[in-house]
Amino acid sequence: MSDDGHEQTGHGGVPSRQRRRFPGISSRAYEHPADRSALVALRKLSGFDTVFKALSALLPERSLRLLFLSDSVRVSEQQFAHLNVMLLDACYILDLEKVPPMYVNQDPQPNAMCIGLDEPVIVVTTGLVELLDEEEMRAVVGHEVGHALSGHAVYRTILLFLTSLAVRVAWIPLGNLAIMAIVTALREWFRKSELSADRAGLLVGQDVQASMRGLMKIAGGNHLHEMNVDAFLQQAEEYESSGDLRDSVLKILNVLPRSHPFTTVRAAELKKWSQSRDFQRLMDGHYPRRSEDKDTSVSDSFRESASHYANHVKTSKDPLMKLVSDLADGAGDLGSRMRRGFGGFAGPPPSEGGSPKDTPPREED
């Protein structure tokens, strides 16, 4: 691995073990197609630009920075030095020249975030620091640096502010509905952005097993000897494919209030990407550069995202997605398939003495 130009980046140390660096890498190299499409859709949301500009002036970002400075521990050579090395390492590998400030906040809940409008700030909780080992934590730091490189911190900050605001104005029916519409759109985008940041974490750590372990421990705690990565990934397979249309609807309802995808889903998505041709090409040094970002086409991004979604629907084992795919291919009768999917809600089948019009349609082979 070459260290050329390392001293000009302002980073204090090179990676602690032999890993590939990605000079000039664009966030497009690791962004999940759904992240890009959701972000474009978010910006197309009626009135969002107006709200964004207004909030940018209103958000108490300076107050937030002062709060972290006064009531958290700033990572440096003197404090949490091992995290400081990881932060410099991650910025070096992803070629992020300006190292964002990083704070450790006292909170037993394992969590990390990257927020800020003008400049990103990374915050990790003591619960996370105590839960993960060095390589697992390295992936998390890379995850947050990926958020910073992608510009996700801006929208994360607005999401936090609007979620808090929605609670305060819950008594105003129309005002609350308008805010919650934007919050819902932001959450949908942010769930997709987490998949992108997971990929950035893998590019920094370059240890897929460590990334898997970290996600598994976030789900099940510090009992690694009681857990198994393959079994954990099997849960994701079962989650996607089991059940009927009722379960598909329940999955949607369960994920709507969340800002992050479920951990098993994140693990499965990351594992799949680590085995893809795109990841291998990236590791071989073939990736888009930031210098080319200005030449990218929004329509091309939409087409790529549309292709991703179409392929996802076609290959998904989720009952609802399979129904959509079959209908798109002209297979079966919609009414018949919907009744079979939601059969549990319809009660017992009619008796043999029922009239012909009450008899369920005959299933085709």
Give me the active site residues, please.
144
Cβ burial of 186 (10 Å; 0-12, 13-18, 19+) is buried
User: Which residues pair with residue 73 across a beta bridge?
Assistant: 104
How many C-beta neighbours within 10 Å does residue 75 have?
24
**Which two tokens mark 180?**
């919650």
Under a CB-based contact definition with an 8 Å cutoff, are residues 157 and 220 in contact? no
Which phi and psi (to 5°) does residue 74 adopt? -80, 130
Report the C-alpha gap between 203 and 222 in whole angstroms: 24
**How many CA atoms are closer than 13 Å to the CA of 333, on its beta-carbon side?**
10
Report the C-alpha gap between 51 and 182 in whole angstroms: 9
Three-class DSSP category at 117: coil
Report the C-alpha gap between 265 and 240 in whole angstroms: 9
Report the C-alpha gap between 35 and 41 in whole angstroms: 10
What are the C-alpha distances in Å from 66 to residues 59, 73, 113, 122?
A: 13, 12, 17, 14
Which phi and psi (to 5°) does residue 310 adopt? -60, -45
**Which two tokens mark 43?**
């910006």
Report the C-alpha gap between 86 and 90 in whole angstroms: 6
What are the C-alpha distances in Å from 214 to residues 45, 132, 275?
A: 35, 7, 18
